[in-house]
Amino acid sequence: MYIKKLPEIAAILSSLFMAILAAYILDLSIDATVSLAIFFLVVLVTLLKWEYRLAISLFGVSILFYLGILKFEEFIVHTNLDIIIFLLAMMIIVGYLEENNYFTYLISKIIKYMHGSGVKTIALLMLMGAFFSAIVDEVTAILFMIAITLEIAAIYEVDPYPLILAVTFSVIIGGTATLMGDPVAIIIAFEGNLTMSEFLNWATPITILNLFILLAIIILFIRRELREMTRHMEKLTLYEVVETIKRDKPVKTRLSTILLIGVLTLIIFHDPLSQILSNLLNKEVTSEIFLIGSPLILASILLLVDWKSAKLVLLHRVDWMTLLFFMFFFVIVGSLEVTGVLRKILDSILILTGNSELKIFLFITILSGVLSIFIANVMTVATIAPLIRELSLMGLHVYPLWWGVLFASVFMALSTPVGTAASLVMLGMLDRHKIGRVSFRRWIKIGMPSAIITTVVSILIIFVRGFLL
């Protein structure tokens, strides 16, 4: 019995030890020490027992209330409802598309381009994974892309693991191209007040470049499996493959297409559209408010037009547990700001870097990348974002830092299976299909070099654009 409880006991003891050590080093108050201990506890329990993430975050916030460390007004401020509402609306829209098998419909249209060659198949699967991750989000993309990948592996009777790794990595990388592609990108967009046009200018080119770098790495590492796949493909006709994929017949494709194009248009052009609306109304409508409203208005129309299907989406497709976890974890991070912990950490960083903007960029970027290897990158960025915001308020040039943290936290998270939401969802899917998890050694073999190379390339480009040009 006690052996089974070892992870929980270890998490409690470790969080207390780290909080006391930090309190001694940073000279923290009692409230700040308690707040930091709760933060460490939530992070460690989430890392060790992912299924308890919501329970422990609720527990942490309740303790902050009971001890008078956090007021209700401060709770409301730090829930980051802008991010939560945006994610909720996007989940409703994407869930509706999934419910109607719309993504299967899209894939059935392009399967003919990959049949006959293992290299073409992996290239198109990765491009599709990155594309869908960018236009919807990485969690949604990984759900249907892994399902399709497993189907293709079964059809051609090949080892699914190399294909699964390739698709998972491409989905993770593709999510950085747009502000709605990755939870990390959403946090950075709202915290840094970054628009979709800025993402298309700064993030998308870097994402595309690294996607092709990743493709080259993948082909190099799994070339034997790809040759075997090509041999197996020669045994089946294209018609047999298409019919297998189309078993889940898509419905309402016209409405789904209009919905997808509509939400993408509003999000991509939310900045100029908000300015046009401001001029028409003769009052300010910020780009951030317009961005939140873009998926929200389409989700509301969807609930009116097809309320029966939308009800199923709300019940089964919206990840309420993750949304609530994000909200309460944001509050716990906010308590670090309220009790002065973040300010103490910020002062220490400024002392270490000597107020040098370049040194701050390198220090925080590398720190976010290293932490994302061990902790889910969403939690890493949710913790670091308030620090960057404080640096900005001090008048420091932090614009390149937002992009550095985005790419370092996402790309370095390729190193391990626990670094991103997409990889955790993928592992859960393998468990449900009773396939067995990808071995840690197999993951590291491809993931670590992919993470290091893509991260270094990204940081170099951001350094040149942000500090030299």
pLDDT in tens, 366-383: 999 998 887 778 888 988
pLDDT for position 2: 47
Which residues of the chain are under the pLDDT cut of 70? Answer: 1-8, 11, 245-248, 250, 428, 431-433
C-alpha distances in angstroms, 357 versus 125, 213, 352, 463? Answer: 40, 29, 12, 11
* The token pair that represents 131 in the structure block: 């594309």
Distance CA 335, CA 31 (A): 9
Q: Are the CB atoms for 466 and 400 separated by under 8 Å?
A: yes
- Please name the amino acid found at residue 130: A
Whole-prediction pTM value?
Answer: 0.81
- Please name the amino acid found at residue 256: S
pLDDT for position 417: 84
pLDDT for position 127: 94
Distance CA 23, CA 25 (A): 6
pLDDT for position 432: 63
pLDDT for position 8: 67
* The token pair that represents 199 in the structure block: 């993402």
Q: Are the CB atoms for 260 and 132 separated by under 8 Å?
A: no
pLDDT in tens, 241-296: 777 766 667 678 888 889 888 988 888 888 899 999 999 999 998 888 998 898 89
Torsional class of 376: left (φ above 0), alpha (ψ -120 to 50), beta (otherwise): beta
Distance CA 426, CA 429 (A): 5
Q: Are the CB atoms for 334 and 69 separated by under 8 Å?
A: no
